[in-house]
Amino acid sequence: MGKIAVLDDNMINMIAAGEVIERPASVVKELLENSIDAGASKIVVEVEEGGRKLIRIIDNGSGMDAADLALVFEPHATSKIRVSDDLAGIRTMGFRGEALASIGSVAKVAVASRTTEAIEAYTIENDCGDKSEVRPCSGDIGTTIEVRNIFYKLPARQKFLKTPKTEMGHITEHFTRIALAHDDLDLTLCHNGREVYRLLSGQGVKDRIQVLFGQSLSEDLLETSRAERGMQIRALLAKPVAARASGKYQYLFLNRRFIRDRFALHAVKEAYRGLMEPNKYPVVFLFMQMPPEDYDVNVHPTKTEVRFDNANLIHSQVLAVLRDKLLGSNLDVSGTAPSAKPFSPEHLSGFGAGQRKERIQQAMTDFFSKPASSQHQRKFSFSNTKRGEPLPQTAQSSAATALPDMPAFEQSESWHSKQFLQVHDSYILLQSEDGFVVVDQHALHERILYEQMCRRLREGNLPSQRLLMPHSFEVTNAQLEAYESQKELFVKLGIEVEPFGPNTLAIQTFPALLDKADPVEFVKEALDKLVEEGADTDSERLVHEVLDMAACKAAVKAGQSLSEEEMSQLLKDKDIVQRTSRCPHGRPTTISFSMKELEKQFKRTGF
């Protein structure tokens, strides 16, 4: 007798279930997708014990008749595609016809359904492959599916289920993805009889984000969209300050399907490059639309992976849309000083709210309108206004203004004040249109240098100057190798390095922009960075990491007192390098305090 036997249907289904049905959350995902495909406008998800005990999905979609119900648990039974050509233009969430067959093979499932035309509903059950007849029953238009005791006949798989809390977390995640992509649906999620989310149609994706992720995230989102080259992109972007330690909050959707795509994700990362710490993940919600013929979703059973015909297009479009928005936005953190303790009533006695308002306003105006000299008498004092040399970037920045392909930055909120105050030789305080701004001198200067170098690099190599004497230094073998393999990088940066005896290199030229940095220290550190990164790292990224480093080294330090000219130059350059409120390491460069904020702090609101 031969050894090969054809597997029976239930075995086939169980094997398929191993791929698509990993845990209760996979069931929720598949069933939600089915309800959406059935045109439902309202879906309720009820879960007990993290879905281990029960998952019930109730929809008001088109329903199934008795004949369809009889086939619903058959493998490869689908109403969504008929011929192979259909695969090229999938417009539905499902199409493989394996979800219900899989679920039915690993749990106790009951489906009740009624079509719009029918006067009664029908039901069918499937207990781990043991199917019932189709029978009439009572029920509303639409479909209700109950999945009980998942994996109860498969102890090996049941063992891998986690606590109800963890499983519920996965369910919530899938629910969230569907909810974000389908803001036209009424969606409810209940756990153990308690309502977790109730999302109404027509509320808009931003409101959904608020409900699902909280107000502080949603209210600070930047919104942008573009339709170009056969592709529509809508994005809601969190400011760099909201970046997370993992990529969990990067929601990408393609034609309303949640996907993970390395091209799009890479573009997101690129877009935030230099605006935040490189090892963090920005929070983004990205909705892409393109003809289904331009990509393939039939790559993996769970369909979160897709294959684009033109992945470069995705990358460049996503990058362009995001980068434009980020560079054109004020990424400053709005000031949220720790709230002061409530004033006791006696503090307020003596003058009313109106008077208080006037007094504070007057004090602010006085402070900022007095000539600098008189500020000395105040509590704060200007730094010794020693007429130091102008900051190193001065000459370069005026050159930068003349560069032809400078991105068109929006005009910033104007910082009217010609007066400013250096606080503890580290921060600069100045009046803005609707309040005041605190500038971190190091962070801002670092940012300016970084942007200037980026712009210069787009034009060619950084302009360099020859050092009076070559600076030589010893290197390890690893450093030497790193130098050999990345010579180009140094050329780009305007750093000419030459061998100078065994294990010794000499620096001949160094970029003018970095004249505050020590050449040897800088090159050594850059080499260490290269060693650390390994030879095959993306050279583009390397350049930017080295630029980060360079900017940090060459920027004025905290604790360094600045002359008035230096401060004024720094603030002027902030306008040139507009919209760059975070230093490359992700710290904010400026924090603005609005009058409103001040009023709140001074308890002047609500009188």
Residues that bind Mg ion in the complex, under the rule CB under 5 A: 34, 94, 99
Min dist. Cβ of residue 477 to Mg ion (A): 58
Min dist. Cβ of residue 85 to ligand ADP (A): 17
Nearer Cβ to ligand ADP, position 129 or 335? 129
Min dist. Cβ of residue 31 to Mg ion (A): 8
Specify whether the CB–CB gap between 29 and 3 falls below 8 A: no
Main-chain phi, psi angles of 415, to 5 degrees:
-100, 90
Which of 29, 24, 106, 113 shows the shortest CA–CA distance to 71? Answer: 113
C-alpha 5/C-alpha 524 separation (Å) is 66
Q: Estimate the crossing angle of helix 564-576 against helix 441-459, to 10 degrees.
A: 50
Min dist. Cβ of residue 7 to ligand ADP (A): 18
Which of 518, 520, 536 shows the shortest CA–CA distance to 482? Answer: 536
Q: What is the DSSP letter of 6?
A: P
Q: Does 38 bind ligand ADP (CB under 6 A)?
A: yes
Give Cα 559 to chain centroid, integer Å: 34
Which one of residues 34, 123, 250, 432 is an interface residue with ligand ADP (CB under 6 A)? 34
Site string for ligand ADP, 281-320 (x = CB under 6 A): ----------------------------------------
Nearer Cβ to ligand ADP, position 105 or 250? 105
- Which residues partner with 393 through β-bridges? none
- Residue 129: strand, helix, or coil: coil
Which one of residues 41, 79, 224, 412 is an interface residue with ligand ADP (CB under 6 A)? 79
Specify whether the CB–CB gap between 55 and 31 falls below 8 A: yes
Q: Does 192 bind ligand ADP (CB under 6 A)?
A: no
Within 57-76, the residues that bind ligand ADP by CB under 6 A are 59, 61-64, 72
What does the block give as tokens for 104?
A: 């039915």
State the residue for tokens 């309108």: 369
- Residue nearest Mg ion (C-beta atom): 94
Which one of residues 28, 47, 100, 254 is an interface residue with ligand ADP (CB under 6 A)? 100
Which one of residues 78, 218, 479, 578 is an interface residue with ligand ADP (CB under 6 A)? 78
Question: How many other C-beta atoms lie within 10 A of the C-beta of residue 240?
Answer: 22
Nearer Cβ to ligand ADP, position 184 or 433? 184
Min dist. Cβ of residue 179 to Mg ion (A): 18
H or E stretch at 238: none
For ligand ADP, how many residues bind (rule: CB under 6 A)?
24
Nearer Cβ to ligand ADP, position 80 or 587? 80
Q: Does 448 bind ligand ADP (CB under 6 A)?
A: no
Q: Does 123 bind ligand ADP (CB under 6 A)?
A: no
- Residue 422: strand, helix, or coil: strand
Min dist. Cβ of residue 110 to ligand ADP (A): 13
Residue type, 467: L
Distances from the Cα of 175 to the Cαs of 70, 198, 260, 386, in angstroms?
Answer: 28, 11, 16, 62
Q: What is the DSSP letter of 436?
A: E
Nearer Cβ to Mg ion, position 94 or 139? 94
Min dist. Cβ of residue 571 to ligand ADP (A): 60
Distances from the Cα of 270 to the Cαs of 24, 245, 255, in angstroms?
Answer: 35, 16, 23
Min dist. Cβ of residue 253 to Mg ion (A): 18
**196, interface contact from Mg ion, ligand ADP, none, CB < 5-8 Å by kind:** none
Q: Does 126 bind ligand ADP (CB under 6 A)?
A: no
Concatenated DSSP letters of 195-224: EEEEE-TTS-HHHHHHHHH-HHHHHT-EEE
**591, interface contact from Mg ion, ligand ADP, none, CB < 5-8 Å by kind:** none
- Residue 161: strand, helix, or coil: coil
Q: Does 80 bind ligand ADP (CB under 6 A)?
A: yes
Specify whether the CB–CB gap between 495 and 507 falls below 8 A: yes
Nearer Cβ to ligand ADP, position 57 or 254? 57
Min dist. Cβ of residue 579 to ligand ADP (A): 46
Which one of residues 94, 164, 435, 511 is an interface residue with ligand ADP (CB under 6 A)? 94
C-alpha 121/C-alpha 109 separation (Å) is 17
Could you tell me which stretch among 95-103, 152-160, 555-563, 570-578 binds ligand ADP (CB under 6 A)?
A: 95-103
Min dist. Cβ of residue 72 to Mg ion (A): 10
Could you tell me which stretch among 96-104, 232-240, 363-371, 390-398 binds ligand ADP (CB under 6 A)?
A: 96-104
C-alpha 285/C-alpha 388 separation (Å) is 47
Q: Does 96 bind ligand ADP (CB under 6 A)?
A: yes
Q: Does 171 bind ligand ADP (CB under 6 A)?
A: no
Min dist. Cβ of residue 252 to Mg ion (A): 21
Nearer Cβ to Mg ion, position 45 or 99? 99
Nearer Cβ to ligand ADP, position 145 or 331? 145
Min dist. Cβ of residue 34 to Mg ion (A): 4
Nearer Cβ to ligand ADP, position 63 or 435? 63
- Residue nearest ligand ADP (C-beta atom): 94
Nearer Cβ to Mg ion, position 90 or 276? 90
Question: How many other C-beta atoms lie within 10 A of the C-beta of residue 532?
Answer: 11
Min dist. Cβ of residue 182 to ligand ADP (A): 14
H or E stretch at 118: none
How big is the chain by its Cα radius of gyration, in Å?
31
Q: What is the DSSP letter of 23?
A: S
C-alpha 56/C-alpha 28 separation (Å) is 9
Min dist. Cβ of residue 456 to Mg ion (A): 54
Q: Does 97 bind ligand ADP (CB under 6 A)?
A: yes
Nearer Cβ to Mg ion, position 34 or 317? 34
Which of 139, 129, 136 shows the shortest CA–CA distance to 108? Answer: 129
Which one of residues 70, 77, 467, 489 is an interface residue with ligand ADP (CB under 6 A)? 77
- In SS3 terms, 305-363 reads as CCEECCHHHHHHHHHHHHHHHHHCCCCCEECCCCCCCCCCHHHHCCCCHHHHHHHHHHH
Q: What is the DSSP letter of 505?
A: E
Residues that bind ligand ADP (CB under 6 A): 30, 34-35, 37-38, 59, 61-64, 72, 77-80, 94-101, 143
